[in-house]
Every structure is written in structure tokens, then in C-alpha cells.
Amino acid sequence: MTYTAELLEQIKVVEATRPQRLGQTFPAMPLEERQELLRKFHPDYIESGMREVRIGSYKGNRMPIELADVIEGRPHIDAHFDLSDPDFETDVLIVGGGGAGASAALMAQENGAKVTLVTKLRFGDANTMMAQGGIQAADRPEDSPATHYLDVIGGGHFTNFPDLVEALVKDAPIVIAWLESLGVMFDKTPDGMMMEEHGGGTSIKRMHSARDYTGAEIMRVLRDEVRNRPNIDVIEFCPAVELVLDDRGAVCGAILMNFETERYFYARAKVVVLATGGSGRLHYQGFPTTNHYGATGDGLVLAYRVGAELAFLDTMQYHPTGAAFPEQILGQLVTEKVRGLGAQPVNVKGEQFVYPLEPRDVEAAAFIRECKERNLGVVTPSGQPAVWLDTPMIDLIHGAGTIEKALPAMVRQFKRFNIDMVNQPILVYPTLHYQNGGVKIDANCQTTVPGLLVAGETSGGVHGRNRLMGNSLLDVCVFGRRAGMTAAQLAKERQPGKPTLAHLESWNRALDEIGVNGAVRSPILIPNYARRD
């Protein structure tokens, strides 16, 4: 669907103010104003969208209602499931076929472990594959891990776990070199230097990218590498539905489900790495999402049932710029790089109303305020609120052809609907993008449960209450690699005891006590989009 006549009229207002806006930058917000804005408009602060979880180690803590319902779900199997004859045995079982899982698999293999990677969909069907903008690393002389550290902590509102941030920024240059050595083709200048850009909340240009399909490029290379190494088996369409403990309370494998036959089976392992990604497909507060179909929070459910501690699950990231029009791509990501390159957010009167590169939560809250309180948003034909993102500014600032070169995938995406983002602004609104919190880990990815490691978006702590752009692809590689190395080491030391699912009995009892009726069976594995009428 192309722009309607009414929207084309409104575009003229944006065009009229463009020359005057070109030379202007809207000032960044002072700290107190940011806090006030977040409190009033960010979905994390909307009390009606949250509730306390009623059982387990996170009891009494708030999280989105949709997540709490899944966390308090009934298991797929019961405690009497036969564990006497595992279908296979491995040293390290990696659950999840995205960037964190693949990185973990490579490093565990390199450190001598026999590895099996199981994944719910195809290997690479993952948020990693969809990442567009880039990956941060302080690898230039004028930058330093210390400056990167300050940016990460500031972006996370000073709530991040410091040891995790230290690991993130110190390993970052190593990760970029590692990815390059495996074959990732980052954007470079003609003289071979890395091209690096700004992202929201960064004080210096350190965003490495491969055009606007950085995640696909990284995933392509990691997946090929996994497939080409000995001692790594990959099993697709086999989600984990439960973790198995041994008689000493350590994790010793998982129950997997064959998606095709719906048969459950036991995979025995010395160590399990959970790398199942985020939970955008739970559509908190009805928001659309940028996430892939398998992002249903499975890792949180699995880890929580065996007693792992959680952190920051009351905070989700709503990316300020999800596509708001046309409806066919509602919620899909318009990368922050677009604002990084100079596109300004503009209201219905053609006015800039916020600094374009505020931290994501602040920027998203400002968009919601513009539409809901100030009533200065645009309303699309389907009633979706939106603001303009003035993309033609990019070529005016950097020269003709810049958009096509830097954002080819996005230009194509809008062109399919006869929208020419090189010459026309696009409509955007916040979309559910990222799970800031997750399972608590230490800097070696160990959880509070022996034998269970977590890496990537399923983990919590490194980004505190807000993640900055480009730090998640980094997190996935840094902690994926660390999880692989730790897992290989632990596998050498551990000899699991007798497997048991007794913890499911106490879990079910706790659910009975709070009156959960079993309507939700979790992990839910795939979102239910069936019509309910």
C-alpha cells in the first residue's frame, strides 16, 4: 500500500520545514527530564501492564503480565518421564541456534568438547539473523574500552552489573578480530579501515556494520563455521521443553521435543548452555515486535523452573522506530542507523521534537508522548499512531546515493510498497524489540544452578535497565564465546549423577497452591496467532 492522498499532503508539511531543520540539532534532554518522561510514558512504567510473579526465586518481582503467565505455566511433561535411556549423550548441549549458541558451539569445540546444538526452528532462524545496524567495539586509537564502559553504564541508567560490562567492553575488539578472521565482511573505507558510526547513547563512533544486514552477515559466517567443524552436531526443529537435574541438583541435560512427531526425548549432557534469545513474540501490552517467530522466552521458563535467579525482567526495550505504515510491515525494525545518519523524528506540524539519538527508552517515550499527550502525531489509515522519520535528510547531509548504499535492505523493504524513503519520509512508532533482563549470570556465563550456563539475550545484567544499539550483537559473541569456553572446561571436570525431574513435582505443587489452572503450558515454543472469534 502506497501513501494515501492525505498522507502525501502531510508530507508536504515535513518538506516545508526541512531546509530550516537541516542545520539544527534538537538539544539532548537533561537527566531529570528523561526520568520524568520515562515515568510517564514508557511501557515499563504502565502498572496495568505488569504483575508480580507468585512462585520461585523471583517471587514478588514485577514483570509484564504476558511473561508472568508463561513463567507460571505448566510443564509439557511430568516428573515420571522415563530418563533411563537417553536418546543421545554429549559433553556440551547448546540450546539455541542464534549468534550466542553458534559462538558457544565454536568455542566449546575449540576447547575440546563434544558439542550438540539443538534449535527450535532452522539453525539461524533467530533475532541475530535480523540484526541490521551493527556491533560496537572500541578498537580505534581515539577510543578505549573505558569510554565504551561508561557509555554502556550510562545507557543502562547505572544499573548494569559492572563485571559483565567489563567483560563486554574488554572482549569487544577481540570479537571483531575473531569475526573478521572467520570471514565477516564489515564495511570498510577504500584504504581498508573499518567504517564506524554513532549509535544512540554512544559518545564516539564505534559501530561496525555490514551495510544494514550486519546480523545476517555474522550469522552466515558463524553458521557455516559450525557446520564445517568436526565434533559439533546440529539438530533442528527440536526445542528444549525442560531441563533435567541430577541427584546433586546440577543440570545434566534437557528434554527435547521433535516438532514434527511431537515425541519427547532425553538428551544427556555434562553442561547445558541456554541461548534461546528473547521474548518479543509475547507482545507485551499489545505492542508489535521486531522479533523472529521463535522469540517466546523459552530459556527464561526452563532456567526458572530449575531455580535460576532472574534480573531486570520488569524492563523491556521498545525500539523507537518500528515501521508504522504500511500495515504489512507493522512493527518491523527501522534501524537506529537511520537516525545515526541524520534522519530527524518530526511531528505532524513538521517540527523536530526530540534529539534523534537519545537512549532508546527515552526516544521511544518521547514518540509516545508526542502522539498520546501532545496529540501531534500522525494517524495512519488503520488508526496506528506514528511520527515521521525524515529520511531524505540523509542524502542532503551526506550526498546523493548515501541511503541506497548504507541501507539497501530497508530501501528495498519500503519500495515493495511504493514508498521511496530516499525522497519521502517514513512513518514510525515504538515496537517491542529486546528483553533487557534475563537469567542472572557471572562473567563466565554461569548461573546460580550448577551445570547451567546462559548467554545472549536470555541472560540479564550486562545492559542493566536499557541496552544501547550494537551492544547486543556484541554481548551475544562475547558471552557466547565465554559460555563455550567455560562449558568445555566444566565438562572436563563434571560427571553428572542420576537424572531426575523431581523438581517438576514441587513446581506443580506450587502452581496448585496459587490456583494456576493449567491453561498455559510453557515454554510456549510458538506464538498463537489463531483467530479467537
Ligand X SMILES: Cc1cc2nc3c(=O)[nH]c(=O)nc-3n(C[C@H](O)[C@H](O)[C@H](O)COP(=O)(O)OP(=O)(O)OC[C@H]3O[C@@H](n4cnc5c(N)ncnc54)[C@H](O)[C@@H]3O)c2cc1C
- What positions carry a catalytic annotation? 319, 339
Using CB atoms, what's the residue nearest to ligand X?
98
Question: Can you tell me which of 37, 366, 469, 477 binds ligand X, judged by CB under 6 A?
Answer: 469
239 or 288: CB nearest ligand X: 239
For position 457 contacting ligand X by CB under 6 A, the verdict is yes
Q: Are strands 438-440 and 459-460 parallel, antiparallel or unpaired?
A: parallel
Q: Give least dist CB 140 to ligand X, A.
A: 18
The closest of 427, 459, 444 to 166, measured between CA atoms, is 444
Q: Segment 286-305, which members bind ligand X (CB under 6 A)?
A: 290-291, 294-295, 298
Tell me, by CB under 6 A, how many residues bind ligand X.
Answer: 44
Q: Grid cell 571436570 — which residue? A: 493
Q: Of residues 502-521, which lie at the interface with ligand X (CB under 6 A)?
A: none
In 3D space, the residue among 139, 213, 130, 220 whose CA is nearest the CA of residue 182 turns out to be 220
Stretch that binds ligand X, among 145-153, 391-399, 419-427, 469-477 (CB under 6 A): 469-477
In the complex with ligand X, which residue's Cβ is closer, 37 or 333? 333
We find the least distance from the C-beta atom of residue 35 to ligand X, in angstroms, to be 25
* Contact flag: residue 130 with ligand X (CB under 6 A): yes
Q: Which residue, 346 or 445, is less far from ligand X as judged by CB?
A: 445
C-alpha cell of 271? 553442561
Q: Using the minimum distance from each CB to ligand X, give the nearer residue, 350 or 523.
A: 523
Q: How far is the CB of 453 from ligand X (least distance, A)?
A: 13
Helix (H) / strand (E) element for 70: namely: helix 65-71
Which one of 273, 476, 490, 511 is in contact with ligand X (CB under 6 A)? 476
Least distance from C-beta 97 to ligand X, angstroms? 4
Q: Which is nearer to ligand X, 29 or 421 (CB)?
A: 421
Pick the binder of ligand X from 95, 137, 308, 403 (CB under 6 A).
95
Q: Does 137 bind ligand X (CB under 6 A)?
A: no
Specify the pairing of strand 452-454 against strand 264-274: parallel
* C-alpha–C-alpha distance, residues 278 and 84, integer Å: 32
Q: Is residue 436 involved in binding ligand X (CB under 6 A)?
A: no
Amino acid (one-letter) located at 80: H
Q: Select 393 or 410, whichever has its Cβ closest to ligand X.
A: 410
171 binds ligand X (CB under 6 A): no
- x/- letters, 189..228, toward ligand X (CB under 6 A): -------------------------xx-------------
Residue 50 grid coordinates: 505488569
| Residues 225-244: x where in contact with ligand X by CB under 6 A, - otherwise, as a string | --------------xx----
Q: Between residues 235 and 516, which has the closer beta carbon with respect to ligand X?
A: 235
CA pseudo-torsion sign 152, 157, 163, 164:
negative
- Whole-Å CA distances, 57 to 61, 85, 164: 9, 31, 22
Q: Which residues pair with 233 in a beta bridge?
A: 116
Residue 3 or 284: the one with the smaller Cβ distance to ligand X is 284
Closest CB to ligand X among 90 and 472? 472
CB of 471 to ligand X, least distance (A): 6
Question: Which range binds ligand X by CB under 6 A, 21-29, 95-103, 264-272, 386-394?
Answer: 95-103
Q: Would you count residue 334 as binding ligand X (CB under 6 A)?
A: no
CA distance 476 to 175: 10
The 10 Å Cβ neighbour count of residue 506 is: 13
Mark the segment that binds ligand X (CB under 6 A) among 75-83, 148-156, 263-271, 464-472. 464-472
Q: Do 487 and 117 meet the contact criterion of CB atoms below 8 Å apart?
A: no
Distances (CA, A) of 11 to 7, 80, 241, 380, 448: 6, 63, 49, 13, 54
Distance (Å, rounded) from C-alpha 235 to C-alpha 242?
A: 17
Contact, 173 vs 136, CB < 8 A? no
Q: How far is the CB of 129 from ligand X (least distance, A)?
A: 7
* C-alpha distance from residue 375 to each of 84, 371, 372, 386 (Å): 63, 5, 6, 11
- Asked if residue 486 binds ligand X (CB under 6 A), the reply is no
Mapping DSSP to helix (H, G, I), strand (E, B) and coil, where does residue 2 land? coil
The DSSP code sequence of 203-221 is SS--EE-STT-HHHHHHHH
d(CA 470, CA 137): 9
The CA–CA distances, whole Å, from 212 to 87, 129, 325 equal 41, 11, 20
Q: Which run of H or of E encompasses 108?
A: helix 99-110
Residue 64 binds ligand X, judged by CB under 6 A: no
- Among 81, 76, 64, CA closest to 432: 64
In the window 270-289, what residues touch ligand X (CB under 6 A)? 275-277
SS (H, E, C) 217-236: HHHHHHHHHHHHCCCEEEEC
Please list every residue from 108 through 127 that binds ligand X, using CB under 6 A.
118-121, 125-127
Please report whether residue 315 would count as binding ligand X according to CB under 6 A. no
Regarding 437 and contact with ligand X (CB under 6 A), the answer is: no
Q: Which is nearer to ligand X, 119 or 380 (CB)?
A: 119
Binding ligand X by CB under 6 A: which of 97, 155, 350, 437? 97
Which residue has cell 500522525? 378
Crossing angle for the helix pair 162-182 and 145-155, to the nearest 10 degrees: 120
For 365-399, give the DSSP string: HHHHHHHHTS--SEE-TTS-EEEEEETTHHHHHH-
Please report how close the Cβ of residue 276 comes to ligand X at its closest, in angstroms: 4
Which residues make up the interface to ligand X (CB under 6 A)? 95-101, 118-121, 125-128, 130-135, 214-215, 239-240, 275-277, 290-291, 294-295, 298, 333, 434, 456-457, 469-473, 476, 523
